[in-house]
Structure 1
C-alpha cells in the first residue's frame, strides 16, 4: 500500500489510536485493548518511539505497541519487547499495513539493543516475520488439600507498600529466577499492584513479618496468578490461610510455579502434579545474536529444554 507513513506516536494521536484499537478489537462489549495501551504508557520503560502509528492521508489507520520488558533467559537477564497490541483499521486490513508496522518496530527494537520480541498471536501469520511458535507457556503445580500440612502461624494479607518491593524481588529470584525463561517484575510498586479490578495483589505477613506475596482473581481465588513465599513453613501457612478463608470448598490448590525450578524442589515437599501448556500462539522472534536466546529457542524446538513459564505483567490484567 503506497503513501503510508510509519512513525512514532504523538500526544495528539492518542484518541485516534484508541479509535483504531476499539474498532479492531470488537470481541466484547467494552473497549478491547484500549485500556491496555493506556496503562502500558504508565511504565517507566515506556518508549513512545516503540509505539508506532500507520498514517494514511493524515489519518491514523494502524498502531503497534512494543513494550520493553526484562526477561530472564537461561540465567541471563535480557531486554525484550512485548508486541501487544497491534491493530489495523478494518477498512485497511490485508493491504500490508500490519507488516509495515512490525518491520519498523523490529528495526527500531534491534537498533536499541533489544534481544527478542515476544507475543501471543495467530500461529499462521506471525511466523512469516520470523516468530517461532511454542516458545513459552504457562505452568502450575496441583496440590491436594488433604496433603497440605497444618500450620499454627498467623497469616495476614495487606496492601503492598513501597518498602516491600526489594524483599518481593528477592523472593521472586528464589522462586522464579532459575526458570528457562521468565518475565522479571520491576522494582517499582506499580509492578506489584494489579490494574485489574477483579484481581487482588497482596503482601503477606506471617507472624507479623513480610513473608510472601499472592495475586489472585477475587471471584475465583483458586486462580492464583503469582505466589511467593520466603520459606517452606511460611508457604504452608499462606496456603492454609487461602484454603480456609478464600476457598474452603476447594479440594485442590493450583500454584503458578515452574515445575522444574529450584523453588518447587525446596519449598514444596508434599505430593503434587505438574501441568504445563505451551501453545502455538506463544511466540518469540530473535533480534540479536546473544547466545542465551539463540540456544534457548533452538533447544526448545529440539525438545531438549522445557519452555519457560511466563506470568504476564500486571498491566495485562486490565483486560
Structure 2
C-alpha cells in the first residue's frame, strides 16, 4: 500500500506533540488519551525514545507510548514497560500500522533491557502481538465500619488521627510508607517513586489525604480516593492495622456526610499478600482476566511468575495505576 511504502516509525520529538494530541483525539473522539500522554511525560520514568510515532508523508498518523516502570515480581524489582495509549488516525486504521508501532516499541524496549510489556487491552488483538492473558489482576478487601453519627469520637482503642491534603515535601515519606505496605510481597506492584505528581491526582474530583499522628509530627497513613466514593480508595497505605482502622473511621464519617447509612462497606485496594491485608483480618479477593495482559520481551522472572500464577500456585499480581490514568 502507498501509505506503508511512505511509513516511517521513529521516536517522538517536541515538534510532534501537537500532532500526537490530534491523532489521539481523532482516534478516541475525546482529549483524555492526549492528556494521559502529556501527564506521563511529566514522570521521572518517562523515556522519549519509547514514545513512538508513525509518520506518513511528514504527517503523524499514529502514536504509541511505552512507559517505563519498576515492577515487583517474586520478591525482586524488574524493569518493564506499560503500553498505553496507542492511537492511529481513522483513515489509516486496519492497515497494520498499529502492529508495526508495537513491534518497534518491543524491539527498542528489549534493547534497553526491559523484561516485558504489559497493558489492559482487547483480548483478541493483542495476543497476535505476543501478549498473554491473565498476567495480573485487581484485588480488593472488604471491610465494614459502623458508626452512630458523623463527627463522633474515634474508638478509644484506636490511635487519634488528623488529616490534611498531601503537600510538597511529602513524597519521600509516602514512598517509604508504600514500600512498607507493598514490598516485597505484592507481585506487579508499580513503584511510584517520590515525585509529588505520583501522589496527587490531576483530577480535582480525586482527593489525596495524608493521615497524621495525634501530635501531627508523623505521616502514618495515605489515601487517594474519589471524593464521591471515599469507600472505594484508589490507594490505601497505613503504618499498621490499628492506624488503618482509625483511617477507615475517618473516611466513614466523610461518607456519612453524604447520607444516612448506619455503616460503610469499604473496598480497599489490598492484595492477599500485603501485610496490611493480614492485619485487617485477611479475605482480600484477587481476580484476573483476558484483558490483563503482558508480553515477555526476553527470558526473565516474569516467565516463572506467569507459570506459577497460571498453575494456581500464586495469586496474580496487583498494579495500582499511576495518577495519570485518573482523569475520568
Band the TM-score falls in, shorter-chain normalisation: over 0.9
Aligned to 2:155: 150
Shift of 1:146: 4.0
Distance 2:142 2:171 in 1: 28
Residue 194 of structure 1 aligns to a residue whose secondary structure is: coil
Distance 1:255 1:93 in 2: 39
Aligned to 1:23: 26
Aligned to 1:259: 272
Residue 101 of structure 1 aligns to a residue whose secondary structure is: helix
Matched, 1:219 2:222: no
Aligned to 1:238: 247
CA contact (8 A) 1:143 1:273 kept: no
Distance 2:266 2:166 in 1: 23
Aligned to 2:296: 286
Superposition RMSD on alpha carbons, in Å? 1.8
CA contact (8 A) 2:286 2:315 kept: no
Shift of 1:302: 2.2
TM-score, normalised by the number of residues in structure 2: 0.90
Distance 1:247 1:196 in 2: 23
Unaligned runs of 5+ in 1: none
Aligned to 2:150: none
Shift of 1:162: 4.2
Distance 1:191 1:274 in 2: 25
Matched, 1:312 2:324: no
Shift of 1:301: 2.1
Aligned to 2:175: 169
Report which of the two has the higher share of strand: 1
Unaligned runs of 5+ in 2: 148-153
Number of residue equivalences:
311
Distance 1:286 1:198 in 2: 36
Shift of 1:166: 2.7
* Matches for 1:114-193 after TM superposition, within 5 Å: 114-146=114-146, 150-151=155-156, 153-177=159-183, 178-193=185-200
Shift of 1:10: 1.4
Distance 2:142 2:8 in 1: 50
Aligned to 1:11: 14
Residue 32 of structure 2 aligns to a residue whose secondary structure is: coil
Shift of 1:99: 0.8
CA contact (8 A) 2:235 2:269 kept: yes
Shift of 1:66: 0.6
Distance 1:245 1:145 in 2: 12
Distance 1:239 1:95 in 2: 51
Distance 1:247 1:137 in 2: 31
Shift of 1:275: 2.7
Residue 202 of structure 2 aligns to a residue whose secondary structure is: coil
Matched, 1:274 2:277: no
Distance 2:253 2:94 in 1: 53
Aligned to 2:207: 200
Q: 1:222-265, CA deviations, whole angstroms, 9 ceiling, x for partnerless residues?
A: 12011111122211111111112334635311111002323311
Matched, 1:109 2:109: yes
